[in-house]
Structures are given as C-alpha cells and as structure tokens.
Structure 1
Amino acid sequence: MTLLEVEHLKKVYQPRLSNLQVAALKDITFTVDNGEYIAIMGESGSGKSTLLNILATLDQASSGRVLLQKKDLSRIPEGELAKFRREHLGFVFQDFNLLDTFNVKDNIFLPLVLSRVAVKEMKKRIEPLVKALQIDELLNKFPYEISGGQKQRVAVARALITKPDLVLADEPTGALDSRSADALLQLFDQINRQGQTILMVTHSAIAASHAQRVLFIKDGQIFHQLYRSDNSQEEFVTRITETTTVLLTKEV
C-alpha cells in the first residue's frame, strides 16, 4: 500500500541579490510504500535536504505534489501545518534538537503535550518505548547530562511517541561516533521490522545499507536507485559505494 507519493516535484529559489534563479529540485518523482525503509543519498547541494524539508512541510515546492495517504500537503492551511506534523510525521535530526531546560521525559512528551494528549495516555505510550530504546533510566536526566548516543535515542523516542505515519531522519548518524551510530541503525532496523516507515537522508554508505532501497539524487533529479533485495549488508555497501562513485563523475 502506497503511503507517500511525490509527483514531479520542483523547487526554484530566487536569490535576493541576483536575477538568476536556482533550481534546487528539477523533477523528482517516487513513491514510498507503507512499512518501507528508504535512504536518500547525494553530494552537498544535490537537493536532498530541500526535498526533506518539503516532505516535512517546512518548505513548499514551486510545482508538483506531495501526497501523504492521498492528502495533498500543499493544500493544508498554514495554521494547521504544525498540528499535521505532530500527528503524522516524526523527525530525527542530526543535532538532536532537544531542549536543555527540559528533562528527558519532558522532551519526549513535548509533542503530545502540544497535542493535548491526556497524561494517562502519555504514560501508557512512553513506558514500552523507553524500555525498547534502553533509556528508561535516563528520564529524569537533562540532555547536557547524557551522551550523544543517548540524546539520539531520546530524539527517536520523541519522534515515535506520536505514532507517526512517516519518520523523517536527516543525517541521524552524522554527529555520532561509530559505536553509537551502529546502535542507532540497529534501532532503525528494529522499528522498521515493527512496521514503521522511514525515510532517511544520509552521506554514509554504511547507514544507507540498512535501508531496503536507496535513491540517489544529483543536480535536483533522481539519478539512480538501488534495491537491497537478497544482498548482504556488505554486498549492499559495495553496490552503494560504486554507485556513489559514478554519481560524482557522470553527468545527469
């Protein structure tokens, strides 16, 4: 069943001090099935962050459509976008975006508080989630008291507690050491096996190899895609690395 449909997406910027327009996205079309795990790769400036921002309703496309469960995101009124994000999208960012003045529990609860979810329901949701993420003993600590890997797990808990249709992850391993990055990727594997749909932007071939499918973007267009199929992770890393090499040298 198709969860997300991206149709002929284009994004053109007009720099303030220039008459020249910059096309960040030229013509992006793809679909994401419910329960799929997709990685998006591309060099800096390729358009992948712009694409993620549009999917997150943080930016608007110049043309084209994004449909989440058949709902056209461009038709959501401005005043309803924040509510839509809280109810349908989960975000995991490279820099965690945790509030230092809130303890771990309150950081995780924040989107539910904003949605006015009952306290009883909030407690019901957090208990199995923090146990699965192995952060149940950190709930009363503050972000500045825990490690980078633990912060990222808190960010994942905050993203998942709303039971989102889609998790959007922007370079989630970029600020982590190799051990913490591996633990996070294993966690993503686990929640994906439980049915969570994930769309992850990454520079890392190792991170991308955990996905079922990898989309490669170059100069605002989808250059190629790879399916993991029956490949081992090591074989998929090799295929991703080879494609990335071609991506850096071949014209679209």
Structure 2
Amino acid sequence: MTMKRLEVNNIKKTYHTRLGGTSVDALKEITFSVEPGEYVAIMGESGSGKSTLLNLLATLDQPTSGSIKLNGQDLNQVKEQDAAIFRRNHLGFVFQDFNLLDNFSVKDNIFLPLVLAKKPLVEMEKRLDALAPKLGLVELLEKYPYEISGGQQQRVAAARAIITEPELILADEPTGALDSKTSAQLLALFQQLNQEGQTILMVTHSTVAASHANRVLFIKDGQVFNQLYRGNQTNEQFLTTISETMTVLLTEER
C-alpha cells in the first residue's frame, strides 16, 4: 500500500478576536488526502476557507485541532524555527503575484531556493539546463523581472518552484494575474508537469484553471462540500461539470 502524499485529518481552524469575545471557525473538520502524482484543485467562494487551508498546508500557520501529514510526517511536529527549511526542502510555491526579486536576474531568481539549500553550482546548472527549455526561459535567463512580461514572470516563478523537485507544489491562484492566453500556457505546463509525476495542489477561483486538474474539492463554510473526479472527461467536459457544481453551490447559499 503506497503512502499518501498528503493527509488532512479533521482539520479545524478557529480565530479569536483580539479581546477574545467572539470566535470564528475558518475551517471545520476538513478531511481529504492526495495521492503521489495527483493534481487536485480546491475551489470555493471568498471566505470559504481556501486561503486558510493553504496557509496550514504551507506550514505558515497551525490548525486549532486535527493533523496534516506530508509523506507521513506530521506538520504540527515541525518546529517554527525549522519551518522555512522544511518548506524549502519539501514544498514548491507558485503565487499569484510571482514574488520575484527585481535586483536578481531570472536565472538567479530560479536558483534562489537551491542556493539557500546550499546545492553545488554544477547541480544547479544541470537542473536549470533541463528545465529552462521546457518553460521557454532559455532566452530570458540573463534578463531581470522588470524586463519581461507578466506571463514570463509567472513561468519564472513556476521554474523556481519546480527546480527544487518538491514533493508537493502548492499553487495559489496561479492564473489570477494573467491574461487568458498566458493562463492557458501556464495550465498546460502544470498538466505536463503532472503527467511527468509532479503532485500539485492548486487553490483557484477559476473554473477554467480547475478543469485542468484531475480532481476538484469544493469548500463551503469551512467544510468539504463536494468533490469531482475527471475520469475520462476532456478539459472542456470537465469544465462544464465543474461549472454546474459551482452553480449548485452558489444557489444553495441563497
């Protein structure tokens, strides 16, 4: 029996007001798992708990109760002072706003997590040589982020996440700042990476983005409301199924 890549068991996250008068349950008893090599999208309206969940998975916050395990390791056991190293060694992040350093070249931005992990330059160059052509970045490596387009910046950000060969890529609204053509390119890249075995968990508002995943979890009021599996559906067919489910989810709120 293979180990789950990610196990989320009965996660609850409660926030208290500063004076302790009221409490808000951002997440209530969320349970799901992700297999190695799966591509899962998480959808839900603003305030549904998606971002809270992502922060917990990224070890940026801790649950009030319940457990999260990555390859069997309980994230609650990761000490705060070790969290940054844990993230660098096990997780890859693709953010909506790229988070690139303007005074670093494209190449140095991509190398940054490997530099922090003290990888030898030969190893870094070898990984980049394999990755840059796949992402269409060969001509851009000596440029700086402010010299390239938003879509190119997002590809650089994706390369920075992938080059560490993470066990799990966490993508937070990765197409949120992109036009439709550039979004399509990034989503095609994610699908390609997934087909090569990369495990991806993506939080998104976009039904189009979600239609590229193999499974979609819908979160509503801090709980898993529903989930859909792609099965043999094309992206277009899966998009229709996801849109219909979102309509039901929104209708039930009225």
TM-score bin (small chain): over 0.9
* Offset, 1:27: 0.9
CA RMSD between the two structures: 0.9
* Paired residue secondary structure (2:56): helix
Deviations for 1:179-198, whole angstroms, at most 9, x for unmatched residues?
A: 00000000001000000000
After TM superposition, the structure 1 = structure 2 runs for residues 152-191 of structure 1, keeping only pairs within 5 Å, are: 152-191=154-193
* Paired residue secondary structure (1:117): coil
* Paired residue secondary structure (1:74): helix
Runs of 4+ displaced beyond 3 Å: none
Counterpart residue identity of residue 87, structure 1: N
Deviations for 1:90-147, whole angstroms, at most 9, x for unmatched residues?
A: 0000000001111101100100111111111111111110111011110111101000
CA distance in 1, matches of 2:235, 2:134: 24
Would you say 1:8 and 2:10 are equivalent positions?
yes
Counterpart residue identity of residue 80, structure 2: E
* Paired residue secondary structure (1:79): helix
Choose the corresponding residue for 1:250, options 239, 249, 252: 252
Would you say 1:41 and 2:30 are equivalent positions?
no
* Paired residue secondary structure (1:215): strand
CA distance in 1, matches of 2:168, 2:235: 24
Choose the corresponding residue for 2:240, options 232, 238, 246: 238
Q: Determine the structure 2 residue equivalent to 1:78.
A: 80
Deviations for 1:172-211, whole angstroms, at most 9, x for unmatched residues?
A: 0000000000000000010000000000001111110000
Counterpart residue identity of residue 136, structure 2: Q
Identical aligned residues as a percent = 65
CA distance in 2, matches of 1:136, 1:110: 17
More divergent stretch after superposition (15-24 vs 124-133): 15-24
**What are structure 2's unaligned runs of at least 5 residues?**
none
**What are structure 1's unaligned runs of at least 5 residues?**
none
Q: Determine the structure 1 residue equivalent to 2:64.
A: 62
CA distance in 2, matches of 1:18, 1:64: 22
* Paired residue secondary structure (1:86): helix
Q: Determine the structure 2 residue equivalent to 1:95.
A: 97
Choose the corresponding residue for 1:127, options 126, 129, 135: 129
* Offset, 1:249: 2.3
CA distance in 2, matches of 1:180, 1:43: 24
Q: Determine the structure 1 residue equivalent to 2:153.
A: 151
Deviations for 1:16-39, whole angstroms, at most 9, x for unmatched residues?
A: 256110110011000000000000
* Paired residue secondary structure (1:81): helix
CA distance in 1, matches of 2:84, 2:93: 13
TM-score for the superposition, normalised by structure 2: 0.97
CA distance in 2, matches of 1:39, 1:178: 18
Choose the corresponding residue for 2:209, options 207, 210, 216: 207
CA distance in 1, matches of 2:208, 2:236: 9
* Paired residue secondary structure (2:132): helix
Q: Determine the structure 2 residue equivalent to 1:225.
A: 227
More divergent stretch after superposition (242-251 vs 26-35): 242-251
After TM superposition, the structure 1 = structure 2 runs for residues 17-36 of structure 1, keeping only pairs within 5 Å, are: 17=19, 19-36=21-38
CA distance in 1, matches of 2:91, 2:75: 12
